[in-house]
Amino acid sequence: MLRKIKLMKQLMAIIILLLIIASCARYKTHQYPEANEKNYHVDFYTKSGKDQLKYAKQFAGEGDYEKAIDLFQRIYENTKLESAAREEALLNLGNIYANG
């Protein structure tokens, strides 16, 4: 009988701990709702600016302008790339904003 009472106390302690953990997790997701959102960011590790421009143009052609703008800006800001690729990225970026 004493053993059952001890076992019941342990079970109640475990249940209380689980409830506390669940309430803390719920509080954190209410406090930081962006934690539930999935965020994907793709980096391109190509050396050629032309290859990166090709990807950015493909994104723009598919209508994914946010990715295209982000990639065009990264191409333009990368001073290690050839100047022709940077100029073309700036031109395409301007076209997206002009047609926007």
Encode pLDDT of 74-90 as tens digits.
999 988 888 899 999 99
Would you kindly state where each structural domain of the chain is located, as residue ranges?
2-36, 49-99
CA atoms within 13 A on the CB side of 44: 20
pTM of the model: 0.53
- Sign of the four-CA dihedral 91, 95, 98, 100: negative
Q: How far apart are CA 72 and CA 68, in angstroms?
A: 6
Please report the pLDDT score of residue 78 as a whole number.
87
Beta strands in the chain (DSSP E): none
Cα 44 from chain centroid? 15
Structure tokens belonging to residue 89? 């990225």
